[in-house]
Homo-oligomer: A and B are copies of this chain.
Amino acid sequence: MKTGPARILDTLRRATGRACSGQTLSGDLGVSRAQIWKHVQTLRNRGYEIHAEAGDGYRLDAIPDRLYPEEIRDGLATHWLAQRIHYFDSIDSTNRVALELAREGAEHGTAVVAEAQTAGRGRLGRSFHSPAYQNLYTSLVLRPDLTIAEAPTWILAAAVAVADTVAATLEDDNAVEIKWPNDVLLSGRKTSGILMELGAEATRVDYLVLGIGVNLNVDRESFPDEFRPLATSLASYSGRRIDRIDFTRRLYGELETTLDACARYGFDAVRGRFDARFKMRGRRVNVKQLGGRVLSGTALGIDADGALRLTLDSGDERVVIAGDVTIVKGPIAHDGPSGRSKEA
């Protein structure tokens, strides 16, 4: 059962820019005209611009730039993803909330959305810069029928969905790439990060939480000094403001399709799309591993488990399960069919 304000909003929305009389609203909703006025005030307080004139009724002029669940769901084409959305104006971390929901039994597809995070988490316990009302911070509770060993491929699949959504939104396919394991770059600068946490029973995934942050409208000049050279947003890159609600809907749709394909056919179903975005292939990279050791070599691709395959300068092939990757500027080596490249 929807709340009074939500039902008024539905009616005003259906009127698509025309006014609805207070009497009509009152009759449709079965509440007094005073009550209608109160609900309209509630909507205005939430940022909806609603025009009212005597005899003219109410007209929806503009919706606020807020990721309200009812806005995201209006026109959302998913079957199971984000059917339930937990919304926060500000929260410590959407992943923290989603983990708690997962552990309390939240169902597959449950989404958490926040306008701001006060303790947004990145990889390796790093913080994720999360200013308010600019970007998208969302975490999803997933309950795939998956072994723990297969779980990492779901980060890669999510990265594909994010990258494709960014490309479609900007109508710019070439600038978007995936930096292994979980960043999406726009013209070489980070615009999205993805984080995975999971609970397991024996070797099976019980729940999997995917945290996704996407810089949409934040001005990259406002980034902290240490991030500025490395990060961007869709708006800073393209020069135009992004409709955050529309982006979120597209992303959820893309994620559902991509993860469904993964669940049904495994990562192979997504590999073609991943490879198209994996522009590190053939490039020289440095991988800083835990403990500080740096591996230098040429990126070959990813293996079946989602690990990065490298050819070291010695010619040996190496599989890397985690680390910070830096792409070394320079020409791209074209690999032979063996997928192995030699140093020039």
A151-189 contacts to B (CB < 8 Å) = 151-152, 155, 180-182
Which of A20-28, A129-137, A195-203 lies at the interface with chain B? A195-203
- Identify which of B105, B151, B202 contacts A125 (C-beta below 8 A): B105
Which of A8-16, A80-88, A141-149, A228-236 lies at the interface with chain B? A141-149
A307 / chain B contacts, CB cutoff of 8 Å: 147, 202-203
B201 touches A200 (CB 8 A): no
> For the complex, is A103 an interface residue (Cβ under 8 Å from B)?
yes
A147 / chain B contacts, CB cutoff of 8 Å: 149, 305, 307, 321
B197 touches A321 (CB 8 A): no
Rounded to whole angstroms, the CA-CA distance of A155 and B201 in the bound complex is 9
A297-323 contacts to B (CB < 8 Å) = 305-308, 321-322
Contact status of A198 and B197, CB under 8 A, knowing A121-B103, A124-B206, A148-B151: yes
> For the complex, is A96 an interface residue (Cβ under 8 Å from B)?
yes
Contact status of A152 and B145, CB under 8 A, knowing A203-B321, A321-B202: no
> For the complex, is A204 an interface residue (Cβ under 8 Å from B)?
yes
A203 / chain B contacts, CB cutoff of 8 Å: 152, 181, 305-307, 321-322
B290 touches A322 (CB 8 A): no
A103 / chain B contacts, CB cutoff of 8 Å: 96, 121, 125, 197
A204 touches B305 (CB 8 A): no
> Closest CB-CB distance, A292 to chain B, in whole Å?
13
> Closest CB-CB distance, A100 to chain B, in whole Å?
8
B322 touches A202 (CB 8 A): yes
Report, nearest first, the 10 A-B pairs whose CB atoms are least far apart: A204-B322, A181-B202, A149-B149, A152-B203, A197-B199, A203-B321, A204-B321, A202-B322, A123-B201, A203-B307
Chain B residue at smallest Cβ distance from A119:
B104
28 pairs of residues in contact across A and B, judged by CB atoms under 8 Å? A105-B125, A123-B206, A124-B206, A125-B206, A147-B307, A147-B321, A148-B148, A148-B152, A149-B149, A149-B305, A151-B200, A152-B202, A152-B203, A155-B202, A181-B201, A181-B203, A182-B202, A195-B201, A196-B199, A196-B200, A197-B198, A197-B199, A198-B199, A198-B200, A202-B321, A202-B322, A203-B306, A203-B322
Chain B residue at smallest Cβ distance from A100:
B96
A97 / chain B contacts, CB cutoff of 8 Å: none
Rounded to whole angstroms, the CA-CA distance of A121 and B199 in the bound complex is 12
> For the complex, is A99 an interface residue (Cβ under 8 Å from B)?
yes
Rounded to whole angstroms, the CA-CA distance of A105 and B199 in the bound complex is 18
Rounded to whole angstroms, the CA-CA distance of A195 and B202 in the bound complex is 8
A290 / chain B contacts, CB cutoff of 8 Å: 145, 204
Rounded to whole angstroms, the CA-CA distance of A123 and B201 in the bound complex is 6
A321 / chain B contacts, CB cutoff of 8 Å: 147, 202-204
Rounded to whole angstroms, the CA-CA distance of A164 and B148 in the bound complex is 27
A180 / chain B contacts, CB cutoff of 8 Å: 202
Rounded to whole angstroms, the CA-CA distance of A175 and B125 in the bound complex is 43
Rounded to whole angstroms, the CA-CA distance of A100 and B200 in the bound complex is 17
Most interface-central of A99, A145, A148, A306 (chain B CB within 10 A): A148
Instruction: Add 12 more A-B contacts to A203-B307, A204-B290 (CB < 8 A).
Output: A105-B125, A123-B206, A124-B201, A148-B152, A149-B305, A151-B200, A152-B200, A181-B201, A181-B203, A197-B199, A198-B198, A203-B321
